[in-house]
Copies of this chain bind each other. A is one copy, B any other.
Amino acid sequence: MHLELYMRERRSLVEAARDRYLPSASEPPGRLHEAMRYSVLAPGKRLRPILVIASAEAAGGKADAVLPTACALECIHAFSLIHDDLPCMDDDDTRRGRPTNHIMFGEATALLAGDALLAFAFELISDNLDLLRDGSEDARALEPAAVRVAKVLRVVARASGTWGMVGGQVADMDAEGKDISAQDLQYIHSHKTGALIEASCVVGSLLVGGSPQAVAALSCYGRHLGLAFQIADDILDVVGDESKLGKPVGSDVRQDKATYPKLFGIEESRRKAREEAEMARAAVECLGAAADPLCSIAGYVVEREL
């Protein structure tokens, strides 16, 4: 299993599709579209869309059948970063090594670009139905394509809002400057970052008609992967290389955010991240060789620069 090659190939699929789907800056309102594209096209790992594809493949489906939904997850991720960086939130000036959206386009346009990306993500999910009907769907699929799209809609809507990402952001804000328990910290992480990562791992298999067992395994994988990812992120904020991260390190400490290193120290956090990655891998063992990329991704997520 050559992970780097695998990720590079999926990443180019995603990036080509996303460029095609996103509203063009030459269509009105051009400034809004420019702002939307600025954040979605920014350099990045594309972890969430790659997980959507890997999840579809692990359930026996094809990447092409899930590309709109894969891009939808990237749009939601971009929306959350734009709003997170706004002055009334984290007030960050740089992201991925470039000026943040509101520094480039002004606060009002950045706010609306985020809103538009969230709405656009749901439009992409509805577009995915056409692809599934066009014969590219997995032959073993028993459920009608529209039922699968409706399930995906539900998973993504819940993971984006108060039951997921936004709920986690609120809890994260509330925890600033406070001493919180390990349980509270896990709530924050599993919601703020974990929910969308878990959703990414689930929707690919849902769309291609994966079995309930496969979907459950991928959901469990996604839950552990999301936690592993966020613990690793917390660690990188302390020990990472600013030029590689594209954002200043130490911002969590400055804002007195609730993090794993703050609660457990660096070494214990590293151990926990690896433990979560191990549990993620174990969850998809039942899917056999089709889940090899997912297993490698779990390793990659915690070993990045730890």
Instruction: Enumerate chain A interface residues (CB-CB to B < 8 A).
Output: 23, 28-29, 31-33, 36, 79, 83, 86-89, 106-109, 111-112, 114-120, 122-123, 125-127, 129, 144, 146-147, 149-151, 153-154, 156-158, 160-163, 166-167, 169-171, 173-174, 187
What secondary structure prevails in chain A residues at the interface with B?
A: helix
Pairs across A and B, CB under 8 Å, 20 listed = A23-B162, A31-B170, A31-B174, A83-B112, A83-B115, A86-B88, A87-B88, A111-B111, A112-B170, A115-B166, A116-B166, A116-B167, A118-B118, A118-B119, A122-B122, A123-B161, A126-B153, A126-B154, A129-B147, A153-B153
Say how far A73's CB is from chain B's closest CB, in angstroms: 13
Say how far A124's CB is from chain B's closest CB, in angstroms: 8
Say how far A79's CB is from chain B's closest CB, in angstroms: 8
- Whether B166 contacts A32 by the Cβ 8 Å rule is yes
Copies per complex of this chain: 2
Residues in B whose Cβ lies below 8 Å from that of A106: 88
- Whether B32 contacts A119 by the Cβ 8 Å rule is no
Closest chain B residue to A127, Cβ basis: B154
Residues in B whose Cβ lies below 8 Å from that of A31: 170, 174
Q: How far is the CA of A226 from the CA of B271 in the complex (A)?
A: 58
Q: How far is the CA of A96 from the CA of B148 in the complex (A)?
A: 40
Known: A118-B119, A162-B33. A173 touches B108 (CB 8 A): yes
